[in-house]
Amino acid sequence: MNITESANQHWQQRADKVLVGSYSRYPAAIISGKGCRLKDANGKDYLDFLSGIAVCALGHCHPAVNAAISRQAEQLVHISNLYYTRPQIELAEILVAQSFADKVFFCNSGAEANEAAIKMARIHSDARRYKIISLKGSFHGRTLATVAATGQPKFHQGFEPLPEGFVHAPFGDLAALEALVDDMTCAILCEPIQGESGVLPLSKQYLQGIREICNKFKLLLIFDEVQTGMGRTGKLFAHQHTDIIPDIITLAKALANGLPIGAMMTTEDIAASMIPGTHASTFGGNPICCAAGVATLQQVLSEGFLERVINQGQYLQKCLARMTGCFPALLTGSRGKGLLIGATLTSEGIAKGPEIVDKMFSRGVLINFAGNAVLRFAPPLTVTKDEIDEMCIVLGEVLLETEKSRQNTLQ
């Protein structure tokens, strides 16, 4: 390292030489974390209101999860799915006990969980039906099939031809959705709250309408709960805020509080369409990831945990309502559920969105700008009111600065 560069710059330069540049990254190498706090290579502290994009739901380096990881690492790190392992079975038992589902398939990511759901819908359908309808603005992953399911053209560009059989319905329009159903449709795939496109909730009536279309045409209803699951919205799964029962749900992100794991969950009847050899994953259901998943679920399902998520979420929304009152030229309000919250912006606010996020970063608070629409807040579910206050003070300072520069340019 030469003496004029900081430790962060040192890592950035080494990274730029050897890593594929598929991410735009903030100029910080994060070296450690505890709860909602992070430290970078220069020794600067951050308050994390993104938690690895809704992954570290219990905060960084949670002691119970770390203990489970260490214990399992001493016992067995990997054995193929040619054999049974205890952590995989225990994790599936908890997920089944807490949901409509009877059976679980484990994989390693959200995209893989959705791939499993897509393959399940196709293999389960009669008459080789294969088409899947998803929604415009949706995000379902970056593999070829899940990117085809993703209803945002910017993610398709340059990767054509995409796998066939994916169509996108305009958001919020049940008649248009129904009009897309044909003889070859086998499923509808949607997120209860669209996360990546700006924390956009689907209303109960809309979800109910989608369920009814599925019933009418014998389609499977697949909820992508990769981001909304695991307590993020104040229920273990977001669809549990309604009484709608899906046929398949997919999980990943927070399932093991930071270790890579995904899950596709479904009913006994649908699961029966996959037999030995139909689908597989070498690492899927890895013992360490599953042990971490069990420890994570034990915390999320502990007495009072999910109520606290609702309370903290309401507290955060109150702070954002105050901010909206102070800065009406930039903010219009907030939306979302539990601790998946988007602060909605005016058109001027949207133009300033990336700058607001950068200024928050400079002041040591991590949030992001989602879907070119909202400031997204997805802190660890263990966040305290003091930490929410701390974030809001910084947000207030940044919005004030942004508002002042906006007024200066108006003059």
Ligand X SMILES: *Cc1c(COP(=O)(O)O)cnc(C)c1O
Grouping H, G, I as helix, E, B as strand and the rest as coil, residue 186 is strand
Tell me which residue has tokens 């997920």. Answer: 95
Least Å from the CB of residue 232 to ligand X: 10
Sites for ligand X among residues 163-202 (CB under 6 A): 191, 195-196
Torsion of CA 104, 109, 110, 112, to 10 degrees: -70
Least Å from the CB of residue 400 to ligand X: 32
Candidates 136-144, 240-248, 329-337, 342-350 — which segment interacts with ligand X by CB under 6 A? 136-144
Binder of ligand X out of 57, 95, 101, 111 (CB under 6 A): 111
Least Å from the CB of residue 54 to ligand X: 7
Sites for ligand X among residues 330-349 (CB under 6 A): none
109 binds ligand X per the rule CB under 6 A: yes
Least Å from the CB of residue 137 to ligand X: 11
Nearer to ligand X (CB atom), residue 10 or residue 142: 142
CA distance 267 to 253: 22
From the centroid of its chain, how far is CA 59?
A: 15
Least Å from the CB of residue 191 to ligand X: 5
132 Rama class: left (phi>0) / alpha (psi -120 to 50) / beta: beta
The half-sphere exposure of 401 on its side-chain side, counting CA atoms within 13 A, is: 13
Which among 48, 95, 119 is positioned nearest to 236, based on CA atoms? 95
Binder of ligand X out of 140, 211, 232, 337 (CB under 6 A): 140
CA distances from 400 to 335, 394, 409 (A): 22, 10, 14
Least Å from the CB of residue 172 to ligand X: 18
CB atoms within 10 A of CB 21: 8
User: DSSP assignment, residue 272?
Assistant: T
Nearer to ligand X (CB atom), residue 9 or residue 143: 143
115 binds ligand X per the rule CB under 6 A: no
Nearer to ligand X (CB atom), residue 197 or residue 324: 197
Tell me which residue has tokens 């602060």. Answer: 343
Least Å from the CB of residue 141 to ligand X: 4
Which among 247, 250, 236, 271 is positioned nearest to 97, based on CA atoms? 236
Candidates 3-11, 139-147, 199-207, 373-381 — which segment interacts with ligand X by CB under 6 A? 139-147
224 binds ligand X per the rule CB under 6 A: yes
324's CB contacts (< 8 A; 6+ apart) are 331, 332, 333, 334, 343
CB atoms within 10 A of CB 59: 22
Sites for ligand X among residues 236-295 (CB under 6 A): 252-253
Strand ranges for 257-366 from DSSP E:
262-266, 331-337, 340-345, 365-366
Nearer to ligand X (CB atom), residue 69 or residue 111: 111
User: DSSP assignment, residue 132?
Assistant: E
368 binds ligand X per the rule CB under 6 A: no
Burial of 10 (0-12, 13-18, 19+ CB in 10 A): middle
Least Å from the CB of residue 265 to ligand X: 15
* Interface size with ligand X, residues (CB under 6 A): 15
Nearer to ligand X (CB atom), residue 224 or residue 403: 224
Nearer to ligand X (CB atom), residue 200 or residue 274: 200
Nearer to ligand X (CB atom), residue 35 or residue 195: 195
Candidates 14-22, 221-229, 311-319, 397-405 — which segment interacts with ligand X by CB under 6 A? 221-229
Binder of ligand X out of 85, 134, 227, 368 (CB under 6 A): 227
Q: Which residue is nearest to ligand X (CB)?
A: 110
Contact footprint for ligand X (CB under 6 A): 109-111, 114, 139-141, 191, 195-196, 224, 226-227, 252-253
